[in-house]
Structure 1
């Protein structure tokens, strides 16, 4: 996983529950609930397919404690192994909350492609 992933546009209605799909299963250490992860990611809006964020575009990965991230990541990243690439589709309640919630992505279903680089 040395290159930024493309996020395919998904036809049909947005899911109402977290969708987790492994694109590549890693063979390294496993991310655990409440742990720290070093990741590369791309985020797009489900409805438009427009990218709103990507660590790849900044040229460096992002290291976060999982409890500081949106609920969809807190639920969807644990169990990933280093070297893996996973797609998460997060409905608004697991992303930035309902429309009018004060964040520019409130009310939106979001798709993330996450590459797990390291844990710890």
Structure 2
């Protein structure tokens, strides 16, 4: 049988346990601070009027009314019925739109890191945080829009083929049927 060597434990000095716990707390806070600093900046979206339904995704195209403002309230851009593919705008604008619903109005606070960063773009100074008031009128997927475009192109081709099939074609200066103002004869038609 082997013999166990016994080492007597020394008593903990007064206040050493408190210092140990304080050290552990400091390390934990430092680690939390580093993790917090590493988080990507976020976009704050405030609902001004509720919308309905699901939110757009990065593959969608949004139709919006919007107003963009600098931190001092200066309007640097605005538009009505503007079309924005979510994957072609600054990251903060896309993130804001992805938190919205059709018919809703919102205020989005976008940090410079998710806007134009350290670049001056137009009237927006480098390093500017941006505020947008956005009304999400509607959105569609890219696939839906491409399908609608194909249908429109096919209709235009069919209309062009019909015009070519008319005897003598279209007279010079004539407007294709259905394109004149309501109640007015098409251009090129003699008036009585």
Runs ≥4 in structure 1, deviation > 4 angstroms?
A: none
Give the secondary-structure state (helix, strand or coil) at the position aligned to 1:97. Answer: coil
Within the alignment, does 1:110 sit opposite 2:110 as a pair? no
Structure 1 position 119 matched with structure 2 position 147: no
In angstroms, what is the RMSD of aligned CA positions? 1.6
- Report which of the two has the higher share of helix: 2
Residue aligned with 2:128, SS: coil
Q: Which runs of 5+ in 1 are unaligned?
A: 1-15
* Count of matched residue pairs: 98
Q: Hey, what does 2:75 align to over in structure 1?
A: 51
Q: Which runs of 5+ in 2 are unaligned?
A: 1-40, 141-192
Higher strand share: 1
C-alpha distance after superposition, 1:56-109 (max 9, x if no partner): xxxx410111011111111111131110011111111111112xx242422111
Which residue in the other structure is 1:91 paired with? 111
| Alignment partner of 1:34 is 2:52 | no
So what's the TM-score if we normalise by structure 1? 0.74
Q: Provide the TM-score with structure 2 as the length reference.
A: 0.48
1:33 alignment partner, SS class: coil
Alpha carbons 1:38, 1:119 under 8 Å: kept: yes
Partner residue in 1 for 2:43 = 18
SS in 2 for 1:75: helix
Which structure ranks higher in relative contact order (CA pairs < 8 Å, sequence separation ≥ 6)? 1
What residue number does 1:5 align with? none
| SS at 1:61 equivalent | strand
